[in-house]
Amino acid sequence: MILASSIRRLRLTDFRNFATLDLDLDGRPVCLAGPNGSGKTNILEAISLLAPGRGLRGAETTEPLRRSGDEMAASWAVYAEAVTAEADDISFASGLLEGGRRQTRMNGKPASRADLARHLPMIALLPEHDRLFAGPRADRLRFFDRLVAANDPAHGETLNAYEKLRSRRQKLLESGRTDPAWLDAIETDMAQHGVGLASGRLHALARLQAAIDAAADDVFPKADLALDGLTEAALAAGAGIQEAEDQLMTALAEGRDRDGAAGRTLTRGPHRSDLTARHRGKEQEAGLCSTGEQKALILRLVLAQADALSQRSGAMPLLLLDEACAHLDEKRREGLADAICGLGAQAWLTGVEAGLFAAFGNRGQVLAVENGSVQV
Ligand SMILES: Nc1ncnc2c1ncn2[C@@H]1O[C@H](COP(=O)(O)OP(=O)(O)O)[C@@H](O)[C@H]1O
Ligand SMILES: [Mg+2]
């Protein structure tokens, strides 16, 4: 049985343009309607800061501190009471304390954000993702790694470990202190984490593709996905873990001089992989599709990921869908509402007017956001 995670109470303190906010909610999708600049995305960002990482704006920890005129708050806090797959009443808190210390708590006790992610999984889709398939490779890979990490928080930890090693190796190479034994040790660890990353991505991709293929409606088009990367290709072709690690280690060792001279890691490790997508119906690269078509493709992908994730873990993630209805015609807005309700997910949607959420009817709860406050 799949149980949906939902936030039942959300409280913000001195978070961006909210001095205080205290919302009582039920499990239905939450539709935030309000003019530009009213604070809709800020609310989604606040929720995203309960998960690992820098939240959906990639902000520095002090950035959300509420500013008004010349004054700046000394701390910010996000507090949520939720129903999750494991508990009927569990609280999560995340914030920056006075003095600049970041803190995360679960049921009032200190907890890591990876712990929070295990209890309150979430998937975010932002307006800039509309052009994800036509945009820079690194953005696409980051988006995909986030999806994988929503399914498996250990993936995020492996990615951090790999990136730390990569930057340490890069510094050594650029400083000219190329002690081979030291580099060997770093590259051995990089290869181990790198193969873990590639393998996690491949498994997640297979589950995601299966969920896309299984979708019964034709409101959102289907994409054929693939991963383009040295290690992903080796594993997909049947290489064992050791073989793939050796291949990556060799590539790194051979790439030392070039990476050092270039000032970046040109070696084709998993940091340089890419997610490719083809619009199945049109038999076209996703990057060449129109903006509207790309938006529809990515919505299908996100809905399928929520489905895949919940099938695997038994917990339906929160969906943070910023301006998801913006470029959708009425039929697709209805399709989106039906898909979200079909999943049973508590989606958090934003839009400039309540009419965009008409298709939810009483299946959703519409809140009016205005200038740092919310009317229920
Ligand atoms: N640290 C901050 N303190 C006070 N206001 C902020 C802060 N950061 C952003 N804002 C303001 O929050 C407002 C709303 O932002 P946002 O949530 O993106 O609006 P929207 O409803 O269009 O999604 C903007 O006017 C912005 O200036
Ligand atoms: Mg916004």
pLDDT tens-place string over residues 336-352: 999 999 999 999 999 99
Max mean pLDDT among 53-57, 148-152, 269-273 falls in: 269-273
Q: What CATH number should be reported for the domain holding residue 238?
A: 1.20.1050.90
* Ligand 1 atom closest to the CA of 38, numbered from 1: 21
State if residue 40 touches ligand 1 by the CB under 6 angstroms criterion. yes
- Mean local confidence (pLDDT), 216-236: 95
Q: How far is CA 146 from CA 86, 132, 154, 305, 363, in A?
A: 22, 14, 11, 11, 28
Report the pLDDT averaged over residues 71-84: 97
- Nearest-CA residue for ligand 1 atom 27 is 37
**Region 35-58: what's the mean pLDDT?**
94
> What is the total count of domains within the chain?
1
Q: In this predicted structure, what is the pLDDT of residue 165?
A: 98
Q: How confident is the model at residue 153 (pLDDT cuts 50, 70, 90)?
A: confident
Residue 321 lies in a domain: no
Query: Whose C-alpha lies nearest to ligand 1, atom 5?
Result: 17
What number is the average pLDDT over the span 284-302? 93
- 222: pLDDT confidence band, cut at 50, 70 and 90? very high
Q: Which of 370, 334, 58 is nearest to 217 (CA)?
A: 334
Nearest-ligand number for the alpha carbon of 128: 2
**310 within a domain of the structure (yes/no):** yes
Look at residue 218 and tell me whether its pLDDT is greater than 90.
Answer: no
Q: Does residue 63 sit within a domain? A: no
Q: Is the CB of 17 under 6 A from ligand 1?
A: yes
**DSSP labels for 208-265?**
HHHHHHH----SS--EEEEEE-HHHHHHHTT--HHHHHHHHHHHHHHTHHHHHHHTS-
CA of 278 to the centre of ligand 2 (A): 29
Expressed in percent and rounded to 5, the helix, strand and coil fractions of the chain are 45, 25, 30
Q: How far is the CA of 323 from the centre of ligand 2 (A)?
A: 7
Closest approach atom of ligand 1 to CA 35: 21
Phi/psi region, residue 78 (left: phi>0; alpha: psi -120 to 50; beta: rest), is beta
Taking the model in full, what pTM does it have? 0.92
Does the beta carbon of 368 lie inside 6 Å of ligand 1? no
Give the number of the atom of ligand 1 that is nearest the alpha carbon of residue 32.
21
Q: Which atom of ligand 1 is nearest to 44's Cα?
A: 17
pLDDT at residue 37 is higher than 80:
yes
User: Residue 52 — very low, low, confident or very high, per pLDDT cuts 50/70/90?
Assistant: confident
pLDDT value at residue 32? 98
Task: Flag whether pLDDT at 149 surpasses 90.
Answer: no
Output the pLDDT for position 115.
85
DSSP letter for 130, please: G
pLDDT value at position 276?
95
Cα of 39 from ligand 1 centre, angstroms: 5
- The angle subtended at Cα 56 by Cα 52 and Cα 58, nearest 5°, is 80
Q: Would you say the CB of residue 290 lies under 6 angstroms from ligand 1? A: no
Whether 136 lines ligand 1, by a CB cut-off of 6 Å, is no
**CB of 39 closer than 6 angstroms to any ligand 1 atom:** yes
Does ligand 1 have an atom closer than 6 angstroms to the CB of 67? yes
| Residue 239: inside a domain | yes
pLDDT at 217: 83
Assigned domain for 70 exists: no
Assess contact for 333 and 61: CB atoms under 8 A.
no
Q: Is the CB of 348 under 6 A from ligand 1?
A: no
Q: What percentage of the chain exceeds 90 in pLDDT?
A: 87
Residue 207, in any domain of the structure: yes
Going by CA atoms, what residue is nearest to atom 11 of ligand 1? Answer: 17
pLDDT for res 178: 75
Query: Which of 12, 13, 14, 17 has most ligand 1 atoms within 8 Å of CB, for mutation?
Result: 17
Q: Is residue 368 part of a domain?
A: no
Query: 308 pLDDT exceeds 80?
Result: yes
The bound ligand whose nearest atom lies closest to the alpha carbon of 321 is: 2
Residue 336, in any domain of the structure: no
Give per-residue pLDDT as tens, 154-206: 899 999 999 999 999 999 999 987 789 999 999 999 999 999 999 999 999 99
Whose Cα sits closest to atom 2 in ligand 1? 16
Q: Is 151's pLDDT higher than 90?
A: no
pLDDT recorded at residue 376: 79
What is the atom index within ligand 1 of the atom nearest the CA of 42? Answer: 17
The whole-number pLDDT of residue 152 equals 83
Are 172 and 186 a contacting pair, CB within 8 Å? yes
335 CA to centre of own chain: 22
Distance CA(64)–CA(21), nearest Å, equals: 14
How many Cα atoms sit within 13 Å of 295 on the Cβ side?
A: 19
Domain hosting 177: range is 132-291+304-316
